[in-house]
Amino acid sequence: AGKDRYIFVISLPFMRTMDLTKVDISLLLLEDMLRLESGYFIDNIGEKTDFVGTNFYGKEGPKKEMLLKFLEKYNEIIFSKGFNFQQQFEVTKQMDSYLKADPALWGAYFNLLKKIDRLVKSDLLYKEYLKIYPSPELQMEWLSPKKKVI
């Protein structure tokens, strides 16, 4: 969409299946914004992306082959490859630091992860989710306080 502008797409069937609240949706979008700001999406594409968010009015745009290659990598990330554990760990820790100031939001985020975990374990339609975003169960573990043994 351009520098410091974002366009987010969220699946209506996913929202309905999960019975997501406005807060839940906002938390999912915040997670995605953190991924974008960290550059994970562009890093994972691994192709020339300087044309993304550029207005080509009156100028020559990128070649068709370059666009098709970009879209192929884009689809690969969205539908099959996704993000790695290190990237997800960093995003989860960022979410934790942002939301700790508001226990209600932090609790909503933790409950959202529980909802997602239940969904991917119980509904075969969402089994591919774990390929794109590493385990919600791991995210909950990363967020949970460490148990001290005395």
Give the per-residue pLDDT at 149: 64
Backbone phi and psi for residue 102, each to the nearest 5 degrees, phi listed first: -125, 100
Please say whether the beta carbons of 129 and 121 come within 8 A. no
Residue 124 has pLDDT above 80, yes or no: no
Average pLDDT over all residues of the chain:
82
The token duo for 56 is 């080509």
**Structure pTM?**
0.75
Confidence label for 47 from pLDDT (cuts 50, 70 and 90): low
Tens digits of per-residue pLDDT, 57-89?
787 877 788 878 878 887 777 777 778 888 889
Tens digits of per-residue pLDDT, 16-36?
988 999 999 999 999 989 988
Q: In the chain, where does DSSP find H-type helix?
A: 12-18, 22-37, 40-45, 64-76, 85-99, 103-122, 129-132, 136-143
Neighbour-count burial of 91, counting CB atoms closer than 10 A to its CB (0-12 exposed, 13-18 middle, 19+ buried)? buried
